[in-house]
Amino acid sequence: MIFLLPLFAVMAPFILFPIETLLPYPALIEEAVKGILVYFALKLPRNIQRNAILVSAVFFALSESVLYLFNILLVGNLFTFLLRLILTTSLHVLTFMILFAFARKNKKWIVAGWLIASLLHFLFNKTIAFLL
């Protein structure tokens, strides 16, 4: 199971891309998928949960950045890509950890974590769109 979480995290942005094309709410959709990953991470032994979440978060962010690399010439240059890579990796790790903190306290609280993570992700997307 520990290897399946990062594997799914790597695949998730590619699976979500067509869904987000139809439903343009990436913050809600991505955070829901992260919430599912966190839920399954809680089934792992307690001493490896945090590491599984961190690895999954980094893999998710890198995979999403690779997806955007395919279109980088349309939206910017290599600097834009590197800036996006640094900022989105930080965002995804932070939102994964928010979800994890709420869910670890009580699995029912994962919805509150999802709302906070989604709001943070939404604000991040709006800020980045404004800056870039």
The domain limits of the chain are: 4-131
What are 73-113's pLDDT values in tens digits?
A: 676 777 878 888 899 999 999 999 999 999 999 999 999 99
User: What is the predicted pLDDT for the residue at 46?
Assistant: 93
- The whole-angstrom separation of Cα 132 and Cα 113 is 28
Q: What is the pLDDT of residue 73?
A: 67
Q: How far apart are CA 41 and CA 63, in angstroms?
A: 19
- Distant-in-sequence, close-in-space partners of 81: CB < 8 Å, separation ≥ 6: 65, 68, 69, 72
Buried b vs exposed e over 18-49: b needs ≥16 C-beta within 10 Å? eebeeeeebbbbbbebbbebbeebbebeeeeb
Q: Would the pTM of this model clear 0.85, i.e. be above it?
A: yes
Q: What would the pLDDT profile of 14-65 be if each residue is shown by its tens digit?
A: 999 999 999 999 999 999 999 999 999 999 999 999 999 999 999 999 999 8
